């Protein structure tokens, strides 16, 4: 049963690499961030860009459920990066742009400055916001 709902912010390439490896990592691989989420929690990955210096994406790119009981340090496939992670099961969903969802998201405090919400690399959202985004991603799949 899910305990919490989260948005993790990562570039599309990083989020999809984590999906392929079956884990979630947050806040540039910090252990404390991986320990914030719990088993059964839902995680949506929001990608501002395709890569560090890449093109704008501004979309939700992955939906996962935390399955790992504890945080583990693992190698990110194809890199020398070793983030702290949590094992996760990812749903088969489609990338979903954020702009059409903005009017219905409670964590967006200022529609004019909506991007400020995503300056945090991991943050909790309520179940209604999580469900709105997850449903939109599932409809596209």
Q: 28, 121 in Cβ contact below 8 A?
A: yes
Does pLDDT of 2 surpass 70?
Answer: no
Residue 119: its pLDDT value, please? 92
Residue 114: its pLDDT value, please? 93
Which of 65, 141, 50, 136 has the alpha carbon at shortest distance from 101? 136
Does pLDDT of 1 surpass 60?
Answer: no
Does pLDDT of 77 surpass 80?
Answer: no
Which of 11, 127, 109, 21 has the alpha carbon at shortest distance from 59? 11
Residue 141: its pLDDT value, please? 59
Give the lowest-confidence range in 27-31, 32-36, 64-68, 72-76. Answer: 72-76
Overall pTM surpassing 0.75 (yes/no): yes
Does pLDDT of 76 surpass 60?
Answer: yes
Q: What is the domain partition of the chain in residue ranges?
A: 5-140
Question: What's the rounded Cα separation, in Å, for the pair 92 and 81?
Answer: 26
For the domain made up of 5-140, give the CATH fold. ph1033 like fold (3.10.590)
């Amino acid at each position: 049963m899910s305990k919490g709902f989260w948005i993790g912010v990562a570039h599309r390439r990083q989020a999809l690499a984590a999906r392929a490896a079956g884990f979630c990592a947050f806040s540039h691989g910090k252990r404390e961030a991986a320990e914030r989420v719990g088993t059964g929690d839902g995680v949506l990955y929001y990608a501002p860009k395709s890569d560090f210096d890449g093109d704008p994406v501004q979309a939700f790119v992955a939906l996962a459920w935390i399955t790992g009981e504890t945080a583990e340090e693992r190698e990110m496939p194809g890199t020398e990066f070793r983030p702290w992670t949590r094992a996760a099961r990812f749903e088969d969903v489609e990338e979903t742009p954020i702009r059409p969802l903005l009017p219905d998201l409670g964590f967006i405090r200022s529609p004019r400055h909506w991007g400020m919400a995503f300056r945090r690399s991991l943050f909790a959202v309520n179940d209604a916001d999580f469900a709105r985004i997850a449903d939109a991603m599932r409809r596209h799949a």
